[in-house]
Amino acid sequence: MHVIRVLIEGMGEHVIAGEAADYAQFRASIQKISEALMAEIEPKDLLAHADSALRALDEHNRRTFRQQALHSTELQNMVTMLTSTIGAVSEAGEDNISRLSEIESRVARASELDDVRLIKSRLSDCLADIRSEAERQRKDNQSTIAQLNQGLDAARRRSSDVFETPSQDPVTGLALRPAAETALANAGQAGVSTYAAVLVLDRLQAVNLKFGREVGDEVLREFARTMRKKLSPGDQLFRWNGPALLALLPRPNSIEHVRSEVARIVDTKLQHTIETASRSIMIPTAARWAVFPMMAAPRLLYQRIDTFSAGPNARD
């Protein structure tokens, strides 16, 4: 039953978000199913709940894929309109007009990311030739071409935003792992004495299962807020993954001194109180931690951090 709840809650957590209203509806359905699995349940009811979870996932994916397809189609139509207009109003020459027509037909058929990148490259080359031709002919339509090119650039930026990865963790507000890896690599090359402190909040998954993910997020958010207050102004704090945070500590001290400092910060007893309909529940929180020096090969450091975060290792 524990494994089934973890899988169902994982479906709710890791699905593509899509539209906010659809995502909220899907999360509510998954949460309702997860809560129903907490009580004693018959096998036939368990199968019914599993079937409900799969139907909810299928319906959400269909709505999300439909929305993405509509968004992609609108962008393709916009690029098609721009290429057609550029060819109509500019003195581009017969060769460039033919190239624009070919690009326009390719846009209508593009379905893969590689197709879009190829079209972007060909369109960029074609537009460069058009600008050169227009300059040579010294026509009065220079301002019109510039405006249309700006619209085309805006369409490409909007297309890129569809696949953009969020830069901040929505739960803690901290920068995510890619930013942490970049900061670690830069610190290793800078030659300044810097240490990486890994802070792993214990039993977060158990809190999620017992009280719900919203409560688990509150506990993690409060833990991150507390750690951020206790760190020095020049320190950086990131959300590494799951219950693990990463603090980047520039220190001229020895690693033993830094470990003592981190121990004083983390070993303070923390607790989080939640209010239910009948009573207040106090949830104690504790964290495992480790301190690592910078390494010449950043990937080795990432592996050590991941290894520590994944299991209940002793403090290093």
Q: For the chain, how many structural domains are there in total?
A: 2
- Specify whether 126 is located in the same domain as 216: no
* Closest to 306 (Cα-Cα) out of 164, 171, 165, 184: 184
- Answer whether residue 153 is part of any domain: yes
* Closest to 290 (Cα-Cα) out of 256, 254, 273, 314: 314
One-letter amino acid for residue 59 of the chain:
E
- Specify whether 282 is located in the same domain as 256: yes
- Answer whether residue 218 is part of any domain: yes
Q: What is the pLDDT of residue 294?
A: 87
- Specify whether 53 is located in the same domain as 122: yes
- Specify whether 201 is located in the same domain as 296: yes
- Specify whether 52 is located in the same domain as 189: no
Q: What is the pLDDT of residue 163?
A: 44
Q: 110 with 125: CB under 8 angstroms? A: no
Task: Select from 94, 129, 163 the last residue of a domain.
Answer: 163
Q: DSSP alpha helices (H): ranges in the chain?
A: 2-14, 20-36, 43-89, 94-109, 113-137, 142-162, 177-190, 204-211, 213-230, 255-266, 298-310
**Strand partners for 271:** 284
- Specify whether 26 is located in the same domain as 146: yes
Task: Select from 109, 140, 163 the last residue of a domain.
Answer: 163
- Specify whether 57 is located in the same domain as 192: no
How far apart CA 223 and CA 221 sit, in angstroms, is 5
Residues of the chain with pLDDT under 70: 14, 38-39, 71, 76, 82-97, 104-116, 133-149, 151-152, 154-166, 276-277, 312-316
- Answer whether residue 184 is part of any domain: yes
Domain that holds residue 299: 177-310
Q: What is the pLDDT of residue 266?
A: 87
- Specify whether 49 is located in the same domain as 7: yes
Q: What is the pLDDT of residue 271?
A: 73
How far apart CA 151 and CA 79 sit, in angstroms, is 9
Q: What global pTM score does this model have?
A: 0.47
- Specify whether 32 is located in the same domain as 117: yes
